[in-house]
A and B are shown apart, each in its own frame.
Chain A
Amino acid sequence: MADKSVEMPEGYGGEGFFATSLAQAVGKARANSLWPLPFATSCCGIEFMATMGANYDLSRFGMERLSFSPRQADLLMVMGTIAKKMGPVLKQVYTQMAEPKWVIAVGACASSGGIFDTYSVLQGIDKVIPVDVYVPGCPPRPEQIIDGIMKIQELVRNEPARRRYSAEYQHLMEKYQIG
Chain B
Amino acid sequence: MHLSNDILLAAIEQQLPGVVLSHEESYGMLTLETTREQIIPILEFVKNDANLQVNFLTSLCGIHYPDQPGRELGVVYHLQSMRNNFRFRIKIFFSIDDPIVPTATTVWLAANWMERETYDFYGVLFTGHPNLKRILNVDDLDVFPMRKEYKLEDGTRTDKDDRFFGRDGHEGQLLE
Contact = CB atoms under 8 A, between A and B. Distances in A.
A85 B145 CA distance: 14
A119 B145 CA distance: 8
B160 interface: yes
A84 interface: yes
B155 A119 contact: yes
Interface of B: 136-138, 145, 150-157, 159-160
A75 B137 CA distance: 29
Interface string A76-92: 00000000110000000
Contacts of A85: 136-138
A120 interface: yes
Given A117-B157, A118-B154, A119-B151, 11 more contacts: A85-B136, A85-B137, A85-B138, A112-B159, A113-B154, A117-B152, A118-B152, A119-B150, A119-B154, A120-B136, A120-B145
A135 interface: no
Contacts of A149: none
Residue among A85, A113, A119 with max Cβ neighbours from chain B (10 Å): A119
A84 B138 contact: yes
A153 interface: no
A151 B83 CA distance: 60
A120 B143 CA distance: 12
Nearest to A85: B138
A117 B153 contact: yes
B129 to A, nearest CB: 21
A123 B159 CA distance: 10
B154 A123 contact: yes
Interface in A115-144: 117-121, 123
A118 B153 contact: yes
A121 B6 CA distance: 45
Contacts of B145: 119-120
18 contacts: A84-B137, A84-B138, A85-B137, A117-B152, A117-B154, A117-B157, A117-B160, A118-B153, A118-B154, A119-B137, A119-B150, A119-B152, A119-B153, A119-B154, A120-B137, A120-B145, A121-B154, A123-B154
A38 B168 CA distance: 40
Contacts of A117: 152-154, 157, 160
B20 to A, nearest CB: 37
Nearest to B139: A85
A123 B152 CA distance: 13
Contacts of A112: 159
Contacts of B137: 84-85, 119-120
Contacts of B155: 119
B145 to A, nearest CB: 5
